[in-house]
Amino acid sequence: MTDLHNTIDYLKNKLKNNDGANKEMQTDGGEMVVDSADDLLEKTNVGQFYPPNTFAVATAEYREAAGERVGLYIPSEGVKDEEGELLDVDLGRNLLRVEDVEPIMKPRIEKALLALSREADHALVPCALGTGFPLYKLCDVDLAFEGTIDVVIPSHKTSPSGLYKYPQNAILAGAGVAMMDAPAILVDHRAQEVGMEAVTPELAKTLAVIAHTDVANRGFGYWTMALETVPRGGRADMDLNPAIQRAANSLEPWFSATQWAPWALENGDIEADESAPTLAEADKFAVVPEDVELGQHEDLRVISAPVENAYCVAFWPLDANWINQHVRQAGADYVDAEIRDSSSPLHQVWKSHADTFGIKKSSAAIGRWEKFWTEHIGPRLEDE
């Protein structure tokens, strides 16, 4: 897509049947069809919602397999195109295009969330800090389903050394974290640990395992987490006990200052080896096969489930003041300062984005940024 009108026309075309013939998007009480394989699975009340962005759509592809692995049928919803596929629209990483399509997307996101609320009490919402996250937050549909918990992943491109190298991603990341709010689970982009291709499958598995835990306890504040799979193989219960305890003891937060506060590192406000800003010891669970009987484990709640392997999962509460200061406010301030600096790559990117809307002068582009800040960023920061 090369201009705004092509983007809008494309989006309208992809959605043109959603209010009519496409019954998969009907949200007025229609039941989701569950096939015979799903009939064998326990239906969880922890659903998943996929905002219209590439990362969410990629994660959704692994939902069914991940659910089967942990013995769950996971209800899900998302905005779909006329073919019934989850919608992923290329908005050119342009926040102004995001703002422009918001009136089209908001009612459709709201309908999808309302549909999911009839099947689930909670909804995990996987999001990456790309174009889709600001679009989802801009739509402001919290009242459609108050039990949503965002599971937010930063871009792998927004390291301290990558802010100038990938200025489009830096703008989206800084604006995105400013729009972020609680409840949310913040998780590093784990490409270095598991490989780029394994990031979304791992997250899908993680979301499925989470459904076996007390999700209601994550319905406030900011959290991070970690998960470890303990293969059962031919182990007897007595052999599985120590392996699970070792796995639980080895869990460390999937949260780093490098990924979540690269601007604060750049400005020298925090150190590169800053530890995760956790407030308390981890809330730990072991999800184990139903025929496994574990002994007593200190600070580890055991959940029996129809799983083949065992899983250790932990949640840490994050310091909201640290998140608001070094992630949200610092990210917004960084983008604001760079867009105002005519020598910055972020300024050049913003100017080119404004140009697609007929805004040619640098001063006018900065004025358009100030308007975006006033309407969408400043009020969210002031609410904290």
pTM over 0.85: yes
The SS3 assignment for 19 reads coil
Mean pLDDT value across residues 263-274: 88
Which letter, b or e, does each residue of 192-216 get, where b requires 16 or more Cβ atoms within 10 Å of its Cβ? eeeeeeebbbbbbbbbbbbbbbebe
Which fold does the domain 4-382 belong to in CATH?
A: Rossmann fold (3.40.50)
**CA nearest neighbour of 261 among 357, 143, 173, 338:** 173
Instruction: Output the pLDDT for position 231.
Output: 92
Model confidence pLDDT, tens digit, residues 153-200 = 999 988 888 899 999 999 999 999 999 999 999 999 999 999 999 999
- Across the range 22-46, mean pLDDT stands at 52
The residue ranges of every structural domain in the chain are 4-382
Contact 190, 55 (CB under 8 A): no
SS3 272: coil
Across 361-369, average pLDDT: 95
Cis peptide leading into residue 183 (ω within 30°)? yes
Q: Residue 31: its pLDDT value, please? A: 32
Contact status, residue 190 vs residue 204, Cβ threshold 8 Å: no
Handedness of CA 214, 250, 74, 90 (dihedral sign): positive
Q: Is residue 36 pLDDT above 50, yes or no?
A: no
**pLDDT tens, residue by residue, 47-91:** 999 998 899 999 999 999 999 999 999 999 999 888 888 988 788
In Å, the largest CA–CA distance within the chain is 71
Q: Note whether 127 and 55 are within 8 A (CB).
A: yes
Mean pLDDT for the chain overall: 88
CA distance 134 to 159: 19
Amino acid at position 217, single letter? N
Q: Rounded to a whole number, what is the distance in angstroms from the first to the last CA of the chain?
A: 37
Helix axes 345-355, 167-179, angle to 10 degrees: 80
Is residue 32 pLDDT above 90, yes or no?
A: no
Is residue 81 within 8 A of residue 87, CB to CB? The reply is yes
pLDDT recorded at residue 41: 86
